[in-house]
Amino acid sequence: MLFFPQDSIDRCFIDKETELNNKVGLFYLLHHFLIQYERYEDNWGFMLLKVSGTNTNKKAIARILKAHSRRSDILFNLEGDFGVLTRVFSDTDLIYFSQRLFSIFKEKIPHIDVRYGITFMKNGDSPESLTQRAFKAAEKAYSEDTPYAIVV
Tally of residues, the chain: 152
Q: Which residue from 62, 70, 44 is spatially nearest to 130, judged by alpha carbons?
A: 44
Give 53: exposed, middle or buried? Use CB within 10 Å, 0-12, 13-18, 19+: exposed
Q: Give the pLDDT confidence score for residue 12 in this predicted structure.
A: 81
Would you give per-residue pLDDT tens digits along the chain (152 residues)? 667 677 776 678 888 899 999 999 999 999 999 999 999 988 899 999 999 876 678 999 999 999 999 999 999 999 889 999 999 988 788 899 999 999 999 999 988 899 999 999 999 999 999 999 999 999 999 999 999 999 98
Question: What is the separation of C-alpha 123 from the centre of its chain, rounded to a whole number of angstroms?
Answer: 20
Distances (CA, A) of 45 to 7, 60, 123, 134: 29, 24, 13, 10
Q: Which CATH architecture has domain 17-150?
A: 2-Layer Sandwich (3.30)
Q: In this structure, what are the phi and psi dihedrals at residue 72, rounded to the nearest 5 degrees?
A: -85, -10
